[in-house]
């Protein structure tokens, strides 16, 4: 439950949007990011795919990176 998948979108060293598996949706940090986050959040297949990334990528690799857990 402590593991999360984060996908950040940056332009010119400024993060404008982020997907966080704990939140379960995109969050915008700038005006451009908020508009894109609203558009991306409407795509349920994209949200489902990114939530699945936590299971397929993070959960499988936690044992490799942290063998004592």
List the CATH number of the domain containing 39: 3.10.320.10
Q: What is the CA radius of gyration of the chain?
A: 14
pLDDT at 3: 79
Tell me if 34 is assigned to some domain.
yes
> Which pair of structure tokens corresponds to residue 10?
């940056």
Q: pTM surpassing 0.85?
A: no
d(CA 10, CA 67): 32
What's the structural domain count of the chain?
1
Domain that holds residue 19: 6-65
pLDDT (average), residues 29-51: 94
pLDDT at 55: 77
Tell me if 32 is assigned to some domain.
yes
Tell me if 1 is assigned to some domain.
no
Torsion of CA 54, 34, 30, 52, to 10 degrees: 10
């Amino acid at each position: 439950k402590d593991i999360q998948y984060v996908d950040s979108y940056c332009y010119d060293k400024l993060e404008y949007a982020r997907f966080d598996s704990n939140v379960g949706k995109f969050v915008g940090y700038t005006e451009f990011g908020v508009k894109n986050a609203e558009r991306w959040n409407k795509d349920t297949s994209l949200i489902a795919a990114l939530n699945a990334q936590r299971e397929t990528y993070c959960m499988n690799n936690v044992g490799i990176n942290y063998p004592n857990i």
